[in-house]
Amino acid sequence: MPNYRVRFSQSPDDQRVRTKLFGIGSAGCNIIEGAPFPAVALSSSAADLARSHAERKVLVGQDRLIGISDADPDLMRKLPSIVGHELLDMFNNTEIAFMMCGLGGTSGSLGTKLLSSIARVKGTTGIVLAATPFSAESIRRREVASKALHDILSISSLCVEFDNDKLSSLGANIPLSRAFGLLNGIMMRPVLDLSETMSRGDIPTFRQVIGDSTYSRFGLGLGRGDERVQRAVLEAVTSPWFDFPLANATGAIAIYSASDPWEKEAAEILSRLEGSMPSAKLLWGAYSDSSLGDRIRLSLLLCTEA
């Protein structure tokens, strides 16, 4: 069977997709700190917002959050009267909403579900990037996270799960605060890469590649030296979050960056990826990032069964 391979359209900058970044709950507010574009912090905790440097901060009381996110999906159609214009209007002029959160608590779990519903009603493509709790956290937390993930998968256009348990493989015995710092940087990577490469006209293709597999995981690879392509691809495909057979991936979104991206390198990356995931529809892009110096970077989102 021939591989399905499409490239992001490389449209002029004025066709660049209009995105909005949300940090939801304590983890979400941490993740968006220092992001290079304007962001909205949303939480039921005033302390989260007080710490945040987001351009816009939205406090939603916990009772209200529980009330509206438990609403019947049909009621969601009447969103303006239920949700109020403040939340709805945040999605104006927005083709893609990136929603960053940790699941298992209240604000992130319910707030992300709510914002995903609003995005859907507003015709915005909603991409959720969610950290899920360590096994060592309470059973209750893990149950809340798993229910929230299930709900979000059915509402959002794409949901990328970053299981915290896999953090240990990024570096043994690193303190939790540093582990979160590392993870937060990795979670922002797909947001930065998609914002750089995607045009408005790419959205239908993006959604086609995802298809019904709204569940996704992420792998990141860096490479330097003579074998930088092999190294970057190997590191990306052996991501701790790819704990399923790569051949099961139904969709792949690959973004290659280098200070001076090279068509020949892109072609080699793609053929390597296609070799290991023959049934995945592949959407790819490349862009120049001078901060990489002599390294290349590969960001890989794989869609699979939840």
Ligand X SMILES: Nc1nc2c(ncn2[C@@H]2O[C@H](COP(=O)(O)OP(=O)(O)O)[C@@H](O)[C@H]2O)c(=O)[nH]1
Q: Contact residues for ligand X (CB under 6 A)?
A: 25-27, 30-31, 102, 104-108, 131, 133-134, 137, 141, 164, 180, 183-184
Q: 155-186: buried (b, 16+ CB within 10 Å) or exposed (e) per residue?
A: bbbbbbbbbbebbeeeeeeeeeeebbeebbeb
Integer CA distances (angstroms), 212 to 107, 139, 204, 280, in order: 27, 29, 13, 13
Report what 141 binds from Mg ion, ligand X, none; CB cut-off 5-8 Å by kind: ligand X
Q: What is the DSSP letter of 227?
A: T
Integer CA distances (angstroms), 146 to 72, 109, 136, 289, in order: 19, 10, 15, 36
Nearest approach, Cβ of residue 103 and Mg ion (Å)? 12
In this structure, which amino acid lies at residue 254?
Answer: A
Residues 6+ apart with CB under 8 A from 155: 113, 116, 117, 120, 126
Chain center to CA of 116? 13
Contact 249, 304 (CB under 8 A): yes
- Window contacting Mg ion (CB under 5 A); options: 20-28, 71-79, 223-231, 258-266: 20-28
User: Which residue in 19, 26, 94, 214 binds Mg ion (CB under 5 A)?
Assistant: 26
If residue 192 lies in a helix (H) or strand (E), which one and from where to where?
Answer: helix 176-197
Token duo for residue 185:
């940087």
For residues 28 and 190, which CB has a smaller minimum distance to Mg ion in the complex? 28
Token duo for residue 169:
């493989």
Q: What is the DSSP letter of 220?
A: E
For residues 105 and 251, which CB has a smaller minimum distance to ligand X in the complex? 105
Count of residues in contact with Mg ion, rule CB under 5 A: 2
Nearest approach, Cβ of residue 187 and ligand X (Å)? 6
Nearest approach, Cβ of residue 216 and Mg ion (Å)? 25
Using CA atoms, how far apart are residues 169 and 41, in angstroms rounded to an integer? 30
Nearest 5°: phi and psi at 144? -60, -45
Of residues 106 through 135, those in contact with Mg ion by CB under 5 A are none
Report what 76 binds from ligand X, Mg ion, none; CB cut-off 5-8 Å by kind: none
For residues 142 and 200, which CB has a smaller minimum distance to Mg ion in the complex? 142
Report what 27 binds from ligand X, Mg ion, none; CB cut-off 5-8 Å by kind: ligand X
Nearest 5°: phi and psi at 241? -85, -10
Nearest approach, Cβ of residue 164 and Mg ion (Å)? 15
Nearest approach, Cβ of residue 51 and Mg ion (Å)? 11
Token duo for residue 13:
């900058």
Nearest approach, Cβ of residue 177 and ligand X (Å)? 8
Token duo for residue 69:
């996110």
Nearest approach, Cβ of residue 8 and ligand X (Å)? 27
Nearest approach, Cβ of residue 155 and Mg ion (Å)? 22
Report what 287 binds from Mg ion, ligand X, none; CB cut-off 5-8 Å by kind: none
Of residues 90 through 109, those in contact with Mg ion by CB under 5 A are 105
For residues 71 and 179, which CB has a smaller minimum distance to ligand X in the complex? 179
For residues 30 and 199, which CB has a smaller minimum distance to ligand X in the complex? 30
Report what 30 binds from Mg ion, ligand X, none; CB cut-off 5-8 Å by kind: ligand X
For residues 50 and 247, which CB has a smaller minimum distance to Mg ion in the complex? 50
Neighbours of 243 (CB within 10 A): 9
**Contacting residues toward Mg ion, per CB under 5 A:** 26, 105
